[in-house]
Amino acid sequence: MTVHAHIVGWGKYVPERVLTNDDLTHMVDTSDEWIRTRTGIAERHIVAEDETTATMAIEAAHEALEMANLRPTDLNLIIVATATPDHAFPATACLVQDALGATHAACFDLAAGCSGFVYGVGLAADLISSGAYRNALVIGAETLSRITDWEDRATCVLFGDGAGAVILQANGSDGGILSSLLGADGSGGDLLYLPAGGSRHPASHQTVSEGQHYLKMRGREVFRFAVRAMPAATRQVLEEAGLTIDDLSLIIPHQANYRITDASAKALGIPKEKVFSNVDRYGNTSAASIPIALCEALEQDRIHRDDLVVFVGFGAGLTWAAAAVRWSAPLPTMPLTRRRKIWYALSYRYAALRSLVRRFVRWLAARFTKE
Ligand code: COA
């Protein structure tokens, strides 16, 4: 029997605090008009002091698990796509695993810039189709506000924070992820990068004073790359699924700039209404942008059973990725019963307790074991 990977759960989290274009005019020399006309962005969400990529990823994962009606222990794989992990190591995916109590899951982070979520979906779908895994949680989560130079008007107006997640599940029925495509061109690595903090330029007084821990971007070149990569990847992933643009119901593209998505729609010869956009309210949330947009498209009833949906992203690397999805999840999904809600709340409490006990046992072992 051929096994397909179906999306059976989804969820998102965006921080409460909203930073508007007007707020930015008090920080740098810019205007609401410039930002709106060049990017389509009106506002973005920014994390609170105690929030991180992991805390947002965990919130999005809660929603996705509850939607899929799965227990955390049903997960076999957790991938967190992010350019802003909590630490270089451990992987943010391990922090998510611990908080969920997903004790049977393999975990890793995936660094493919803004294409990371679609890379994760493609990879997880292939691993599920191979029979290696049954339930995979793929999260895109970013805290870009912590690597943004708030004095650089060319970049600080573009980015925001947030997280989105999906659960892919093995199933013998047709549909789900039909095809995926992952691409890269490392020669463009310097167009969008974070210079310091890695092994090339470890953190030092000099790297900090020179602002080398903030992202740097050559915007115009990234723009030119994006308007070529998005339509090409969309066409190719449809072709691999044996489909054409005419079969398409909706594209959920990486939300970076409405001019990029408009140009892509034009290049593909499809109406703008077939390209989902919410960049106005979130800005560019990198790997989180597509899963957040997917959740909103579903909330707005823009996706129906058997629709053909394409996720397509581009970003640092340079990378690009696309996935063609025959939407197979039941819609509308049933709201959680009160009993089930309580069960989930208790299971997360139990996970926290379990983690604490394991740390304590480790502490005891270190203190009292002679080696
Ligand atoms: N407010 C006001 N003026 C600004 C500004 C801001 N926030 N940022 C830049 N400018 C100025 C520039 O200094 C420049 O002025 P000059 O002509 O006097 O030198 C002018 O606006 C035009 O700058 P430019 O960079 O050419 O603008 P643009 O039309 O290319 O738009 C981007 C800039 C960043 C919006 C656009 O290039 C873009 O979206 N690129 C892709 C970025 C992206 O998607 N990155 C993420 C990839 S995952």
From the CA of 314, give the closest atom in ligand 1: 48
From first CA to last CA, the distance across the chain in angstroms is 52
* pLDDT for residue 330: 67
From the CA of 316, give the closest atom in ligand 1: 48
Sheet holding 77-81, edge to edge: 4-13, 161-171, 135-143, 77-81, 106-110
Pocket test for ligand 1, best of 34, 218, 223 (most atoms within 8 A of CB): 223
* pLDDT for residue 20: 98
Residue nearest atom 34 of ligand 1, based on CA coordinates = 219
Pocket test for ligand 1, best of 192, 220, 254, 279 (most atoms within 8 A of CB): 220
Ligand 1 centroid–CA 103 distance in Å is 45
Quick one: what percent of the chain has pLDDT higher than 90? 93
Q: What is the mean pLDDT of residues 219-233?
A: 96
Rounded to an integer, what distance in angstroms lies between the CA atom of residue 8 and that of residue 64? 8
Please determine, for residue 298, whether its predicted confidence score (pLDDT) is greater than 70: yes
Kindly report the average pLDDT of the chain as a whole number.
95
Rounded to an integer, what distance in angstroms lies between the CA atom of residue 170 and that of residue 167? 10
Q: Is the CB of 80 under 6 A from ligand 1?
A: no
Architecture of domain 4-326 in this structure: 3-Layer(aba) Sandwich (3.40)
Structure token pair of residue 92: 């943010």
Q: What is the mean pLDDT of residues 239-251?
A: 96
Please determine, for residue 61, whether its predicted confidence score (pLDDT) is greater than 90: yes
From the CA of 313, give the closest atom in ligand 1: 48
Reply yes or no on whether 104 is catalytic. Answer: no
**Which of 94, 107, 114, 156 does the annotation list as catalytic?**
114
Rounded to an integer, what distance in angstroms lies between the CA atom of residue 199 and that of residue 366? 31
Residue nearest atom 13 of ligand 1, based on CA coordinates = 154
Reply yes or no on whether 135 is catalytic. Answer: no
CA-CA distances (angstroms) from residue 79 to 94, 135, 223? 9, 11, 28
Q: Is the CB of 30 under 6 A from ligand 1?
A: yes
pLDDT digits (tens, 9 = 90+) for 345-358: 999 999 999 999 99
Q: Is the CB of 219 under 6 A from ligand 1?
A: yes
From the CA of 220, give the closest atom in ligand 1: 37
* pLDDT for residue 336: 80
pLDDT digits (tens, 9 = 90+) for 163-210: 999 999 999 888 999 999 999 999 999 999 999 999 999 999 999 999
Rounded to an integer, what distance in angstroms lies between the CA atom of residue 72 and that of residue 349? 12
pLDDT digits (tens, 9 = 90+) for 22-43: 999 999 999 999 999 999 999 9
Rounded to an integer, what distance in angstroms lies between the CA atom of residue 58 and that of residue 361? 25
Please determine, for residue 332, whether its predicted confidence score (pLDDT) is greater than 70: no
- pLDDT band, very low/low/confident/very high, at 66 (cuts 50, 70, 90): very high
Rounded to an integer, what distance in angstroms lies between the CA atom of residue 292 and that of residue 165? 8
Q: Mind giving me the DSSP string for 62-107?
A: HHHHHHHT--GGG--EEEEE-SS-SSSSS-HHHHHHHHHT-TT-EE
Rounded to an integer, what distance in angstroms lies between the CA atom of residue 5 and that of residue 144? 30
* pLDDT for residue 238: 98
Ligand 1 centroid–CA 222 distance in Å is 11
